[in-house]
């Protein structure tokens, strides 16, 4: 009878140990099986003859019996299950009470072993006493036949012969020195799986307990033949049938199917065909298909993936930052393998199926009507339907003074004002311009008295003012007032304290201006033309190029560059002018930056964005909204223009206007941000 270890099921286990002193007792039939190990005779020719007796058969049939031996002092049945010991399975016990087995394999020379007889019934494992012996070696294994003599990768093959080990791990089957997985074994049979070596004729080697077989017969791994497949066109997730000959029936550990470099799922296997699913992660066309079983076996024809088809877009009018659903056919169910563009800008693909793609309208789009494209295989397919995009950003008439940066801006009586700054030729400017939003027109007004850059403009008590800044590297302390009625500039009381080398914006609360700069902050009262020092934040130190605005009687300040530590900060603070105190608020969650654009709107929200990241060496164009009631930041639609530093704002009504700036290029464009019209 042939019996393999992996076919033994033990319903319940109880172990009965019988001591050597039992040998001289008179045994009576007992209700349980009882075993005795009687002899271990070492053979000079090799191997050991084990003998034992069945002292009692008990009330249950002995379904399995044999010997177990090991260098362990107390080998047990668990060592058979775990394959940690050598053993022999002799099958159900017959009527004989004397048991004998000649172990010819897996016994080393001059090694001490312990052996015992075991009996197995439906409800009991009985272990005999232990006998020790010193091995004198094994007999060499012999191969008499291999069935079948040729097979495919992953197939199971049976070697028949003698002097094999029941313990799988004591046998080693090799094809040209490549180890094979052994499925089961006994004294005369070994079953192994053909490894993925490719096709050809190999020498079949066998070692048992380190002893090589006397012969090495030839064994052939058959070559799979790929003939054709159908259908020859399809899309992701389709089922394709691959036809051939000598195809392996092994699992995916031995045989795989690839479409280009991507593995397909095999759902059905026969010797003449495989059914596979077209993988999702394909990105080029046409596709070469191969079967991989040690070697690649290619199909001569190529598989053609169908191009995506766009049938509809929902909705057909959307805001920047919102989502749309693109309907159609042949989309990739893997979101990252769909490339969607709207108006030439890449769109974030949120999810996808073969029939729908959910994508986000790029925040960098201005208002307008745009084409939509989808690409899954390198070629963009354009939608027959356009998308109307609504954006809070809209470009207006450029600043007429020409490209520049570090300008000053303010708003007064429904008009915007912008001027001064640094030109591309390195010259500081003094020209000033008025912008009328009702006509989208600029006109020049009286020049500022001095060429200057990084000046801070603000409106307070019905007048416009300019403070701070520098000219030819000299920090300016003057305060200058602009009167739109007379189109004149007038010098007022200078700001006390030290000047700042950086852009140092301020904020206005209840008609009074607060100008922080260089470790200190001063309050300016226009009606009395006087300054008064207020508290400042030691944590910010020599701070500049940051954000500043006011909302509902409080000032907000932070998110810029701290000179003392040579680093950008995301720290953000609220100033209470009545208590003259500062309190920390939610830190800025975006990329740390300096030279930001900041403003607040009548909707009770503050806005911070653009600027430069020193860490990333990158100019930025993202925008963030701050809600003081919730102390929360939310990223909103990106600034539509080019990323930059020093994009200066002025606020008229519900909208902010941003102009000029620098990103290795000087700019003169003007953009309006109006979230009310967008909503």
In angstroms, the CA 507 to CA 459 distance is 9
Predicted local confidence at residue 379, as pLDDT: 85
Cβ atoms of 491 and 483 within 8 Å: the answer is no
CATH of 309-390, one of 3.40.50.170, 2.60.40.10, 3.50.50.60, 3.30.56.10: 2.60.40.10
On the question of pLDDT at 12 being above 80, the answer is no
| Confidence at 10, pLDDT banded by 50, 70, 90 | very low
Average pLDDT, the chain: 92
Mean pLDDT within 610-621: 96
Average the pLDDT over each of 235-239, 340-344, 376-380, 426-430 and give the range with the smallest value.
376-380
In angstroms, the CA 62 to CA 461 distance is 107
Mean pLDDT within 141-167: 95
Cα 116 versus chain centre, distance:
56
Predicted local confidence at residue 679, as pLDDT: 61
Sequence-separated (6 or more) residues with CB below 8 Å from residue 142: 161, 162, 163, 213, 214, 215
Percent of the chain with pLDDT over 70: 96
In angstroms, the CA 107 to CA 165 distance is 10
Mean pLDDT within 26-48: 84
| Confidence at 6, pLDDT banded by 50, 70, 90 | very low
| Confidence at 3, pLDDT banded by 50, 70, 90 | very low
Cα 562 versus chain centre, distance:
35
Question: pLDDT tens across 456-503, in order?
Answer: 999 998 899 999 999 998 999 999 999 999 999 999 999 999 888 788
Mean pLDDT within 642-657: 97
Predicted local confidence at residue 366, as pLDDT: 83
In angstroms, the CA 638 to CA 651 distance is 18
For domain 394-678, give the CATH number.
2.120.10.80
Helix (H) or strand (E) holding 109: strand 109-120
Question: pLDDT tens across 269-282, in order?
Answer: 999 999 999 999 99
How far are the Cα atoms of 430, 453, 487, 524 from residue 483, in angstroms, in the given order?
Answer: 17, 21, 6, 17
Predicted local confidence at residue 36, as pLDDT: 96
Mean pLDDT within 418-426: 97
Output phi, psi for 410, to 5 deg.
-160, 165
- Closest residue by Cα to residue 479 from 519, 522, 520, 509: 522
Mean pLDDT within 306-320: 95
Predicted local confidence at residue 598, as pLDDT: 97
Mean pLDDT within 237-253: 91
In angstroms, the CA 596 to CA 648 distance is 9
Predicted local confidence at residue 114, as pLDDT: 97
Predicted local confidence at residue 677, as pLDDT: 76
Residues 174-204, buried b or exposed e (16+ Cβ, 10 A)? bbeeeebebebbbbebbbbbbbbbebeebeb
Question: pLDDT tens across 513-551, in order?
Answer: 999 988 999 999 999 999 999 999 999 999 999 999 999
Q: Which residue has the higher pLDDT, 510 or 367?
A: 510
Predicted local confidence at residue 256, as pLDDT: 94
| Confidence at 140, pLDDT banded by 50, 70, 90 | very high
Percent of the chain with pLDDT over 90: 85
User: ω before 286 within 30° of 0 (cis)?
Assistant: yes
Range 225-305 classified under CATH 1.20.1050.10: no
Range 5-136 classified under CATH 3.30.390.50: no
Predicted local confidence at residue 45, as pLDDT: 87
| Topology agreement, domain 142-221 and domain 309-390 | yes
N-to-C CA span, the chain: 84
User: ω before 248 within 30° of 0 (cis)?
Assistant: no
- Count CA atoms within 13 Å of residue 273 on its CB side: 11
On the question of pLDDT at 572 being above 50, the answer is yes
Average the pLDDT over each of 81-90, 130-139, 362-371, 590-599 and give the range with the smallest value.
362-371
| Confidence at 27, pLDDT banded by 50, 70, 90 | very low
On the question of pLDDT at 4 being above 60, the answer is no
Longest dimension (CA), the chain: 133
Mean pLDDT within 199-208: 95
In angstroms, the CA 117 to CA 34 distance is 10
Domain boundaries, the chain: 5-136, 142-221, 225-305, 309-390, 394-678
- Closest residue by Cα to residue 576 from 601, 557, 597: 557
| Confidence at 29, pLDDT banded by 50, 70, 90 | low
CATH of 142-221, one of 1.10.3720.10, 2.60.40.10, 3.40.50.150, 3.20.20.220: 2.60.40.10
User: ω before 349 within 30° of 0 (cis)?
Assistant: no
Question: pLDDT tens across 66-108, in order?
Answer: 999 999 999 999 999 999 999 999 999 988 899 999 999 999 9
Q: What's the whole-model pTM score? A: 0.64
- Write down the residue that tokens 């993936």 correspond to: 305
């Amino acid at each position: 009878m042939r019996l393999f270890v992996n076919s033994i099921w033990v319903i319940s286990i109880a172990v009965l140990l019988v001591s050597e002193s039992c040998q001289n007792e008179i045994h009576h039939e007992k209700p349980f099986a009882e075993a005795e190990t009687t002899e271990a005779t070492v053979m000079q020719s090799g191997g050991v003859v084990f003998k034992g007796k069945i002292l009692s058969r008990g009330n249950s049939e002995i379904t399995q019996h044999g010997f177990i031996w090991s260098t362990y002092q107390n080998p047990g049945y668990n060592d058979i299950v775990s394959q940690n010991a050598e053993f022999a399975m002799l099958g159900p016990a017959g009527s004989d009470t004397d048991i004998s087995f000649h172990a010819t394999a897996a016994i080393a020379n001059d090694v001490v072993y312990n052996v015992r007889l075991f009996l197995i019934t439906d409800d009991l494992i009985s272990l005999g006493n232990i006998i020790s012996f010193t091995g004198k070696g094994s007999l060499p294994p012999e191969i008499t036949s291999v069935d079948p003599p040729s097979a495919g990768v992953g197939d199971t093959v049976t070697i028949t012969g003698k002097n094999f080990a029941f313990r799988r791990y004591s046998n080693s089957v090799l094809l040209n020195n490549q180890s094979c997985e052994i499925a089961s074994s006994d004294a005369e049979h070994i079953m192994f799986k053909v490894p993925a070596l490719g096709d050809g004729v190999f020498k079949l080697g066998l070692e048992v307990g380190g002893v090589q077989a006397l012969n090495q017969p030839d064994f052939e791994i058959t070559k799979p033949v790929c003939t054709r497949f159908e259908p020859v066109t399809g899309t992701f997730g389709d089922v394709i049938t691959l036809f051939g000959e000598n195809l392996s029936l092994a699992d995916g550990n031995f045989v795989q199917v690839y479409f280009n470099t991507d593995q397909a799922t095999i759902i059905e296997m026969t010797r003449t065909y495989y059914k596979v699913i077209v993988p999702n992660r394909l990105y080029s066309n046409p596709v070469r298909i191969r079967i991989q079983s040690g070697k690649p076996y290619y199909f001569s024809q190529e598989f053609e993936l169908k191009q995506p088809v766009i049938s509809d877009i929902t909705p057909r009018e959307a805001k920047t930052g919102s989502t749309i659903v693109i309907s159609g056919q042949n989309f990739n169910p893997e979101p990252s393998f769909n490339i969607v563009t709207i108006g030439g800008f890449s769109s974030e693909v949120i999810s996808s199926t073969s029939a729908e793609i959910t994508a986000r309208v790029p925040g960098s789009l201005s208002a307008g009507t745009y084409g939509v494209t989808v690409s899954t295989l390198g070629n963009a397919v354009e939608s027959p339907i356009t998308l109307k995009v609504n954006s809070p950003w809209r470009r207006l008439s450029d600043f007429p003074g020409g490209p520049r940066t570090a300008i000053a801006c303010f708003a007064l009586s429904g008009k915007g004002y912008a001027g001064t700054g640094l030109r591309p030729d390195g010259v500081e400017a003094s020209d000033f311009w008025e912008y009328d939003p009702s006509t989208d027109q600029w006109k020049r007004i009286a020049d500022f008295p001095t060429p200057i850059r990084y000046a801070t403009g603000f409106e307070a008590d019905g007048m416009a003012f300019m403070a701070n800044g520098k000219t030819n590297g000299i920090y300016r302390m003057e305060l200058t007032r602009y009167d739109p009625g007379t189109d004149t500039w007038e010098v007022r009381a200078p700001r006390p304290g030290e000047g700042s080398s950086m852009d140092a914006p301020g904020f206005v609360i209840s008609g009074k201006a607060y100008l922080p700069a260089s470790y200190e902050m001063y309050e300016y009262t226009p009606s009395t033309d006087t300054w008064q020092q207020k508290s400042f934040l030691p944590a910010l130190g020599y701070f500049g190029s940051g954000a500043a605005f006011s909302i509902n009687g409080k000032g907000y300040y932070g998110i810029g560059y701290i000179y003392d530590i040579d680093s950008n900060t995301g720290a953000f603070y609220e100033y209470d002018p009545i208590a003259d105190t500062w309190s920390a608020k939610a830190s800025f969650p975006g990329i740390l930056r300096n030279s930001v654009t900041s403003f607040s709107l009548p909707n009770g929200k503050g806005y911070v964005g653009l600027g430069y990241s020193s860490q990333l060496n990158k100019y930025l164009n993202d925008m963030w909204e701050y809600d003081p009631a919730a102390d929360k930041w939310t990223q909103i639609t990106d600034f539509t223009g080019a990323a930059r530093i020093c994009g200066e704002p002025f606020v008229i009504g519900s909208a902010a206007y941003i102009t000029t700036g620098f990103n290795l290029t000087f700019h003169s464009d003007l953009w309006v941000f109006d979230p009310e019209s967008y909503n």
